[in-house]
Chains A and B, each alone.
Chain A
Amino acid sequence: MSTTTLSHDEAHHHDAPKGWRRWLFSTNHKDIGTLYLLFALTMLFLGGASAMLIRMELFMPGIQLVDPDLYNNLVTNHALIMIFGAVMPAAAGLANWMIPMMIGAPDMALPRMNNLSFWILPAAATMLILSFVVPFFPGGGTQINTGWTLYPPLSVQVGMSMDFLIFAIHLLGISSVLASINIIVTLLNMRAPGMALMKMPMFCWTWLVTAFLLILVVPVLAGGVTMLLFDRHFGTSFFDAAGGGDPVLFQHLFWFFGHPEVYILLLPSIGVLSHVIPAFSRKPLFGYNSMVGSMLAVATIGMVVWAHHQYTIGMSMGAVTYFMIGTIIISIPVGLMIFNFIATMWRGSMTFETPMLFAIAIVLMFTFGGLSGVMLAVVPADMQYHDSMFVVAHFHYVLMPGAVFGLFAGVFYWLPKWTGHMYDERLGKIFFWTNVIGFNITFFPQHFLGLAGMPRRIIDYNVMFTEFNVISSVGAIIFGLSHLLLLYIVIKTIRGGKKAESRSWEGAKGLEWELDSPPAFHTWTVAPQVK
């Protein structure tokens, strides 16, 4: 018999903890979600600053502001910060805030692990920043001029900043894996009674698939960068042809992670869209089952087509054909998702608040990015476009609308729920238009630059590319500055504004809208019954 002697304490408080301990030791999913979102916002500005420098340098031909190695380091850091520091943590922030509220769970399944997976991130970000800063110090070695792909042999040759970067990637990987395990366990085991998998909100489905993808690909990247570390310091020759190794092996390892990473970035935003479009069309989502099926198909096929990033390495004809056909096939389930979104809007009572504007922009521009993706999937065409600015334009058209606009839509859609205040709709729309116009001015001309032969990752360019580069850089200034407005809107909404109702949007459906705005510190202390 196990019994205990009690001291009586009948105080009744349910307040949120106060001070820095609240954030450092938090196991509350809402607090950790907020931390993720704030971290992502900070990194968005850091990554954005490096993008601004890149575009300022490319404003005119010649070398103006930075030297070529620093330019390439900016390119490397911009990509890594935006992918690992901004988009993934922002999506994790939305997941932390929304998943428990959407499935009627009181918190994430493993709250302490949740705390750990967040607090690894600032350490990783510090390592990432150090990798950029170290070469400025005496004995710090050369800049990381490899681009985010870190291909050897160049990555074996650069200075100690690469070691900081490898460590940062390991930490980011650990954080992602811990978050994924938490999300999988939460979604599989903690759904409210009556909520079968096929009744789960679409955002939760997208995160379930994303978490499985992360689980499958992160160890491969971890293995790849560790092998790189071994080649750099322990005399191995995994990627050194002179020692019997193969530099192309690293490309396979990297892109086995890198291509599914695109879907890891995209799927949470597709989940957001699956809530925003029905809410503002005042219709249920068209084809729930086919959305789930498409997502699973995208994830599965996306896992086995990585080498379309490597057409130019000299693969066999059979392998190239396989990767080409596989890549083109992905457009079928992606097309089905887009069709479902359009069919949801069809004959709906649509209104055009900021989240919906972003959703429509995604449908239009992500489709455009997808089409240029099909162009790149075709081997003979890709041989021409490879490593040109066309590729830069393509992946920004995929990732900005597909991932970042989706996150913006989610932030504007759920901001009233999180803060208890409605954001300023007029400012929201101004932000939308400046952001979208700025984005298109920046990246649309880059298609032409690429088709005309301007290579990517080169600091200088031929004078014949000047006009489009000037347009692109002016667009980048508008685009970059528009994010200050986002910051202002978010701060303004947190500080006050019109009181948000529980169901902040007329057409919003789901358990999260049954809760107060803002929700209590602990929610769903009694599990809801889902019919």
Chain B
Amino acid sequence: MVLTGADNDPVHKVLVIEPNRQLSWKTTKRVFLALALCLGGVAWYFTSLGAWLVIPFTGLELLLIGLGLYLHCCHSHQQQVIQIDAESVSICDGRLGAQQASFPRAWAKIIQTRDPKGWYPSRLFIGSHGQFVEIGKFLIEGERDTLADNLRCAIQGA
């Protein structure tokens, strides 16, 4: 999902890139907590009957659920911010706020590589002078294609 800011300004553009997601961190934690409570209740009940071997399996399962939710949430909460001004194109990590790279706008190139066999998603890079940084890794294919077109227009449109 690409959100564009400062559309009216032909020189300065801001593109916020993030994947589609429906769960916030808060809701994710609530879902996990609810599952942990239910599973904990089940494990406690059967342990009280003497079936304590239910506990390791419950714990292992809870760990897997937590891992699945965490990994997917990490993936879906990624964000990149691309700022284009008259002189440069800079790419920042939207969550951490740290700048990943900055390139002179006049030299900046957009390159999209594709797996020859088509087995893997394409990769989109921005850079210049042989140094490139990957953008939109977390987007789906169609969104990445659109982003590549939009970026080319935005960079060349000065």
Contacts and interface: CB of A to CB of B under 8 A. Distances in A.
A185 B68 CA distance: 7
Nearest to A12: B114
A189 B21 contact: yes
Contact of A238 (B50, B71, B131): B50
Interface string A11-29: 1111111000000000000
Contact of B116 (A9, A109, A524): A9
A524 B140 CA distance: 8
A17 B22 contact: no
A9 B122 CA distance: 10
Given A110-B68, A220-B42, A526-B143, A3 B132 contact: yes
A212 B115 CA distance: 37
A253 B73 contact: no
Interface residues of B, number: 58
Contacts of A177: 61, 64
Contacts of A3: 101, 127, 131-133
B140 A526 contact: yes
Interface in B53-80: 53-58, 60-61, 64-65, 68-69, 71-73, 76
Contacts of A245: 50
B113 interface: yes
A511 to B, nearest CB: 14
Interface in B124-145: 125, 127, 130-134, 140-143, 145
A191 B22 contact: yes
Given A11-B114, A215-B61, A222-B57, A256 B140 contact: no
B111 interface: yes
Given A17-B117, A252-B49, A2 B38 contact: no
Nearest to B93: A2
A4 to B, nearest CB: 6
A224 B51 contact: yes
B44 to A, nearest CB: 12
A188 B31 contact: yes
B29 to A, nearest CB: 12
Interface in B1-18: 1
Contact of A2 (B31, B50, B73, B101): B101
Interface string A506-531: 00000000000000011011110000
B57 A190 contact: no
Kindly list the 5 A-B residue pairs having the minimum CB-CB distance in the complex, ordered from nearest.
Answer: A525-B142, A223-B54, A526-B142, A219-B57, A13-B118
Given A6-B127, A181-B68, A524-B140, 9 more contacts: A189-B22, A192-B20, A193-B20, A216-B39, A219-B61, A249-B49, A252-B49, A527-B140, A527-B143
